[in-house]
């Protein structure tokens, strides 16, 4: 078990490259299980979450190998052995439920261990059931596993019970191989959903309405292998770097930010008085997303006059919402943060009190953040949740003195070479292996 020593209070400077999107990567990697043949994915982030999915897919007979930095070959040509599924890998990542949609046309019946991921309170899977059963997928819940039974897939009209990202992606993966036409209304239009759709189209799927909340899908008999599909850059990691620049009062440039999925976040920051520059507009490697470089400029911040909350795209990204908490600690005044989507994620913000942040929990969804506050170095154990955990690191970078951060697996699930990258722009983070 390793831990971090952070010598904080340093001004950072320079440029850092954004990484590929975790949530796109895990969905697309699972979708490869539906393709008989060799598919190559490029710009695949080498993060713990991806490693767990690779372990999961390998355990059922899918051949996967790294061909070089960020290039992954997935060969799902052979027979699948669902009775050999890796229970440890399945239990460590919630993304394992993507197999419900990915294998809907390929495996008639199987058991899959119940999944893990971030500890954010109850995260219901019922919306997945309601959507998938319309297409012919039935999931039964038992104490430690799900029993999945697939009948012949048929197109259907689906109203999403919940406009969730993973729920929509599961429905899409099943629908592309369902006979006939499927309409999905109230669908998530978030970045990872779009990226998955563009990948599936490369594999032969027929999907219309990408980027909207209504998708029209005409089912096909089989998907074909895809060569060199590039995973899009991650808007949440980009926002993490932006939050680090602002919270530490630093002038840094974050490269390859997917602009469409950060525009409202930047608008909120502008209202707070944050100065920034947007530069070098271009298209992503897969040609589907607009990228820019964002430069943070040290600014005097004011608290937002209204509460801040996340919502499905095109709203402020639900995963970017907690990343505003460190920023708000440096703003004059008090802001209400309403994290309605998860039962307990807001509670983890109380860990920032150990570093001197003025955070007051009103209930399991709402908290006041007041600033400006001066951070204090301390020793903290990461909570078992990705964004709340990285928030602690952000605040430690801004705190004068030596801090210790333990149990960083929650961060490593979603960030690739984060500590090394930050050190290139002036951070002092040491990884200590016990």
Residues with catalytic roles: 118
* Chain position carrying tokens 């680090």: 244
CA dist., res. 278 & res. 53, Å (int): 35
In order of 18, 82, 93, 246, 274, the CA distances from 12 in angstroms are 16, 48, 33, 10, 17
How many residues does this entry show for the chain? 434
Query: To the nearest 10°, the Cα dihedral for 135, 137, 140, 145?
Result: -130
Tokens of 51: 């490693």
Pairing of β 145-150 and β 137-141: antiparallel
Burial of 46 (C-beta count, 10 Å sphere; 0-12/13-18/19+):
middle
Q: Give the Cβ contact number of residue 129 at 10 Å.
A: 20
CA distance 172 to 152: 16
DSSP 113-152: EPP-----S----HHHHHHHHHHTEEEEE-SSEEEEEE--
Residue 212 tokens read as 């909207």
Kindly state the tokens that stand for 9: 């209070």
């Amino acid at each position: 078990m390793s831990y971090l020593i952070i010598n904080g209070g340093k001004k950072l400077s320079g440029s850092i490259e954004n990484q590929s999107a975790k949530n796109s990567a895990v969905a697309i990697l699972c979708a490869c299980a539906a393709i008989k043949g060799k598919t190559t994915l490029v710009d695949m982030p080498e993060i713990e979450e991806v490693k767990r999915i690779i372990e999961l897919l390998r355990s059922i007979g899918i051949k996967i190998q790294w061909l070089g930095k960020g290039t992954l070959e997935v060969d799902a040509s052979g027979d699948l052995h669902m009775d050999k599924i890796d229970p440890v890998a399945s239990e460590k990542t919630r993304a394992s439920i993507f197999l419900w949609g990915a294998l809907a046309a390929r495996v008639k019946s199987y058991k899959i261990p119940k999944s893990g991921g971030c500890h954010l309170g109850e995260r219901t899977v019922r919306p997945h059931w309601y959507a998938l059963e319309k297409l012919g997928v039935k999931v039964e819940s038992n104490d430690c596993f799900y029993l999945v039974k697939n009948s012949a897939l048929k197109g259907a009209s689906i109203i999403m019970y919940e406009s969730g990202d993973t729920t929509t992606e599961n429905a899409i993966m099943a629908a592309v191989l369902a006979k006939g036409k499927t309409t999905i209304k109230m669908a998530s239009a978030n970045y990872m959903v779009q990226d998955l759709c563009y990948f599936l189209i490369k594999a032969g799927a027929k999907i219309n309405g990408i980027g909207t909340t209504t998708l029209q899908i005409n089912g096909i008999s089989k998907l074909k292998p895809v060569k060199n599909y590039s995973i899009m850059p991650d808007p949440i990691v980009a926002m993490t770097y932006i939050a680090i620049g602002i919270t530490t009062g630093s002038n840094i440039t974050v490269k390859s930010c997917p602009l469409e999925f950060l525009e409202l976040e930047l608008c909120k920051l502008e209202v707070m008085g944050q100065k920034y520059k947007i530069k070098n507009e271009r298209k992503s490697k897969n040609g589907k997303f607009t990228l820019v470089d964002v430069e943070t400029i040290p600014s005097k911040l004011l608290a937002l006059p209204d509460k801040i909350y996340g919502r499905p795209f095109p709203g402020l990204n639900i995963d970017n919402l907690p990343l505003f908490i460190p920023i708000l600690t440096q703003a004059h005044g008090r802001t209400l943060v309403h994290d309605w989507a998860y039962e307990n994620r807001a509670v983890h913000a109380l860990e920032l009190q150990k570093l001197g942040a003025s955070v007051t929990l009103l209930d399991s969804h709402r908290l006041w953040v007041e600033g400006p506050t001066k951070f204090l170095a301390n020793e903290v154990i990461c909570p078992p949740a990705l964004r709340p955990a990285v928030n602690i690191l952000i605040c430690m970078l801004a705190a004068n003195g030596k801090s210790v951060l333990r149990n960083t697996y929650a961060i490593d699930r979603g960030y690739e070479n984060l500590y090394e990258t930050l050190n290139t722009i002036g951070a002092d983070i040491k990884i200590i292996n016990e």
